Amino acid sequence: MLIRNGIELLYTNTFPHPQLYGLSSNFFTQVVEESYRKTRIYLVVGEGYDALGLLDTMHEAGDYFVIGIDKRAHDASALQIWSNLENDETIVKSCVRNQPDCYHSYMQLTLTPLHQDRCEELQEYNMCYLKKAPFNFTLSSASFNLEPEAGYLVDAVWLYALAAGEILQAGGTVVDAGNGDLIAQRLINRRYKSSLGYLNEINELGDAQTNFMTRVQRKTKHYGISDRGKYSN
């Protein structure tokens, strides 16, 4: 997608483990030494905190911009590592604690939080049917943590049923309802409300849009980042 939009990749690398800044060696020191002369915009795909080491290293190497892409489902607690930096003694001398311009050239992208009320409805729905045939599960707890993938599966089944029903109502056969091409034709460029509360649309390639939010520098007495905008793409 980057190349398709005219963005050239000049350098790639992979860090072998989560970058626990202040607790392990800074992998990005070598990365910057190898790359800063030919590129000034960095994309870091990983955990929400992985970019801390890169921010500190890049701060000593001139103008730059870092975009962190959090690969996990939204986790409100993940933001605490940024909120509590002023109390973290492991990075007392780092720019990420002491200098606001360290965050000025940083933006983080993360998935939009799930809609709590819709998740609760989906959880009740799942628990109800898990107790019925053909599952007949005996649940040891009155509740369990619902993973986002459960919502994606519900969306997929519901969208297929919707498209298949339209095919049958239009005079199609059961065989037609099992034809993937005909199902896809019914779903392309279609907007729908996800079971997780998102308003989604399936594009011409058959991909559902992504709901994400940005985190950028906050203006408070302490340095760090906070939630700013929500977007769909």
Residue linked to tokens 């965050």: 103
Identify the helix (H) or strand (E) that includes residue 149. helix 148-169
> Over 60: is that where the pLDDT of 86 sits?
no
Cβ pair 21, 52 in contact under 8 A: yes
pLDDT tens digit string along 112-166?
877 777 778 888 888 888 888 998 888 776 666 777 788 889 999 999 999 999 9
Identify the helix (H) or strand (E) that includes residue 174. helix 174-177
Q: Which DSSP string corresponds to 98-142? A: H-THHHHTEEEEEEPPP-HHHHHHHHHHHHHHHTSTTT----SSS
Exposed (0-12), middle (13-18) or buried (19+): which is 152, by Cβ within 10 Å?
middle
Show the DSSP H helices in 51-99 as ranges.
52-58, 80-83, 95-98
Distance CA 233, CA 230 (A): 10
Mean pLDDT within 207-226 = 71
Mean pLDDT of the chain: 80
User: What domains are there in the chain, each with its CATH number?
Assistant: 3-112+210-232 (3.40.50), 116-197 (no CATH)
pLDDT tens digit string along 158-189?
999 999 999 999 999 999 999 999 999 999 99
Q: What is the pLDDT of residue 80?
A: 63
